[in-house]
């Protein structure tokens, strides 16, 4: 059995090294041939087991040829990174150890405390003992944060939500921007807050939450008998990479005693780029910050992270362990499962540790800065092109733009841009995704891959033009 494993594992290593080496020369993404798709969909449950070597061969033949595309240097879609090689190794080793990182005294639990601290140090967020945990992603980090925010607000009204439920509460109101990620709404719905009680505060053209409008709306809501409790700011919007004025939002939240949650799932690591860094001032004053190491850092999916100022808010929200039974092995912090929803938890910290240790702080800074620099360059190329229009200033590593030649009317522009992302994808040489920004159809390129070159940016714009010509 172990000798089988050894041989097959070497086979996997060779196969994956060839796969990763070959990615930049191949098609970025292509629709799956229908027989390959059908083969996967209709595969019967085998009666007898297979040899490990045959499984490796099947992975190579039936799965590796059909990737999502995000390992390629010209993949600019959504917010999906190429996997860091060290992170791949970390994921492999973590599976071999296969602990549950719920808690206890084993390596994975202690390593998670350290990588959470490292992540906090990287983005410049305070890190009290127990003030964070790894999650499946930004969405889960947001659910955990908003649950703690909700329970704190309820406690302020004398209600224990855990015992009494929501019926004992007046509507709690949260404030978001036009560009807030959908996961905030999902969390509010799930937590019984009601998306109707998430108020969209008007912003500037880039969708930045306007602190003055926010303050006015909070006061009006209080006067109407509602209970404001939360502001959700963005440290990098998914459409355009725009960072809210986090200092101003912190001021409002401090004065009004509201919970400030900052969504840094895409963009918090952008703070490491010296040019972008000043935009993040105030991030360290948030009550909670959601991060996604599985995005910009390239930690293999899945890995999100939630950081909080006050660890007791999390433990008070999720722990079902009575204080007299708490396990003090980890300096009184207890188990990770007391700070979130998951009980059995995967060993995510090993792939984070491996990714960060292989790059070093300096390596992460270099890669993040390179991505931001490439995005600024792409922004300049778009701004200088007569047939393209930059739709938002480039603040981090996302560039939102549209095809808009002078001789095309708005209706044609709308029609072409609405189909442009998919048309570029189907050509196979670059991958961007479409969006709607300020009511206009657009495409957006998200730069997360430090091996992308300026030539790749030129190819992207050539592909956009060629795809647009075809659609026109």
Ligand X SMILES: *Cc1c(COP(=O)(O)O)cnc(C)c1O
Q: Which residues bind ligand X (CB under 6 A)?
A: 79, 137-139, 181, 183, 238, 263, 265-266, 292, 304
CA-nearest of 260, 249, 172 to 215 is 249
List the alpha helices (DSSP H) in 23-137: 34-41, 52-58, 85-97, 107-123
> Which is closer to ligand X, CB of 140 or CB of 416?
140
Structure tokens at 136: 């499946």
Per DSSP, the three-state class of 214 is: helix
> Which is closer to ligand X, CB of 396 or CB of 423?
396
Note whether 287 and 258 are within 8 A (CB).
no
Number of Cβ atoms within 10 Å of the Cβ of 157: 13
Instruction: Provide, rounded to whole angstroms, the least separation between the CB of residue 288 and ligand X.
Output: 13
> Which is closer to ligand X, CB of 270 or CB of 304?
304
> Which is closer to ligand X, CB of 259 or CB of 266?
266
> Which is closer to ligand X, CB of 295 or CB of 402?
295
Instruction: Provide, rounded to whole angstroms, the least separation between the CB of residue 215 and ligand X.
Output: 24
Distance CA 104, CA 334 (A): 8
Distance CA 200, CA 178 (A): 6
> Which is closer to ligand X, CB of 139 or CB of 433?
139
Instruction: Provide, rounded to whole angstroms, the least separation between the CB of residue 68 and ligand X.
Output: 14
Note whether 434 and 426 are within 8 A (CB).
no
Instruction: Provide, rounded to whole angstroms, the least separation between the CB of residue 176 and ligand X.
Output: 12
Instruction: Provide, rounded to whole angstroms, the least separation between the CB of residue 70 and ligand X.
Output: 13
Instruction: Provide, rounded to whole angstroms, the least separation between the CB of residue 187 and ligand X.
Output: 10
> Which is closer to ligand X, CB of 303 or CB of 404?
303
CB < 8 Å & 24+ apart, contacts of 461-466: 461/378, 461/381, 461/382, 461/385, 461/388, 463/424, 463/427, 463/429, 463/430, 464/388, 464/403, 464/420, 464/424, 464/430, 464/432, 465/387, 465/403, 466/427
Instruction: Provide, rounded to whole angstroms, the least separation between the CB of residue 287 and ligand X.
Output: 17
| Order of all β-strands in the sheet with 440-446 | 388-390, 398-403, 440-446, 433-437
């Amino acid at each position: 059995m172990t000798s089988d494993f050894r041989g097959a594992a070497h086979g996997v290593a060779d196969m994956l090294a060839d796969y990763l080496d070959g990615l930049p020369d191949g098609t970025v993404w292509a629709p799956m041939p229908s027989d390959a798709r059908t083969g996967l969909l209709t595969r019967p449950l085998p009666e007898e087991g297979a040899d490990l070597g045959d499984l490796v061969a099947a992975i190579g033949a039936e799965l590796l040829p059909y990737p999502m595309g995000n390992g390629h240097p010209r993949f600019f879609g959504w917010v999906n990174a190429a996997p860091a090689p060290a992170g791949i190794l970390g994921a492999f080793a973590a599976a071999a150890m296969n602990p549950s990182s719920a808690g206890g005294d084993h390596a994975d639990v202690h390593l998670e405390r350290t990588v959470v601290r490292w992540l906090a140090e990287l983005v410049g967020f305070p890190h009290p003992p127990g003030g964070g945990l790894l999650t499946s992603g930004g969405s889960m980090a947001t659910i955990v944060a908003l649950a703690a925010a909700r329970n704190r607000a309820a406690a302020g009204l004398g209600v224990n939500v855990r015992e009494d439920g929501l019926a004992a509460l007046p509507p709690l109101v949260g404030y978001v921007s036009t560009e807030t990620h959908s996961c905030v709404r999902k969390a509010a719905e799930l937590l019984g807050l009601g998306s109707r009680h998430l108020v969209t505060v008007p912003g500037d053209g880039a969708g930045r939450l306007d602190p003055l409008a926010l303050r006015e709306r909070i006061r009006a809501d209080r006067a109407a008998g509602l209970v404001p409790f939360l502001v959700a700011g963005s440290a990098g919007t998914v459409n355009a990479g725009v960072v809210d004025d986090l200092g101003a939002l912190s001021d409002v939240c401090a004065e009004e005693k509201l919970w400030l949650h900052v969504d840094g799932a895409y963009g918090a690591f952008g703070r490491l780029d010296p040019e972008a860094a000043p935009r993040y001032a105030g991030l360290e004053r948030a009550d909670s910050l959601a991060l996604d190491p599985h995005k910009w850092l390239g930690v293999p999916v899945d890995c999100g992270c939630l950081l909080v100022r006050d660890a007791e808010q999390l433990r008070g929200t999720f722990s079902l362990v009575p204080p007299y039974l708490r396990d003090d092995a980890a300096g009184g912090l207890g188990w990770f499962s007391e700070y979130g929803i998951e009980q059995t938890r995967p060993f995510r910290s090993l792939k984070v540790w491996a990714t960060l240790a292989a790059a070093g702080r300096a390596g992460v800074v270099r890669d993040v800065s390179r991505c931001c620099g490439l995005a600024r360059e792409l922004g300049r190329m778009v701004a200088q092109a007569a047939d393209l229009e930059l739709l938002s200033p480039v603040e981090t590593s996302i560039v939102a733009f549209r095809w808009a030649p002078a001789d095309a009317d708005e209706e044609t522009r709308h029609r072409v841009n609405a189909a442009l992302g998919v048309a570029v994808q189907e050509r196979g040489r670059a991958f961007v995704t479409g969006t709607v920004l300020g009511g206009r159809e657009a495409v957006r390129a998200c730069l997360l891959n430090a091996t992308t070159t300026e030539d790749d940016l030129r190819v992207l714009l050539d592909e956009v033009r060629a795809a647009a010509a075809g659609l026109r």
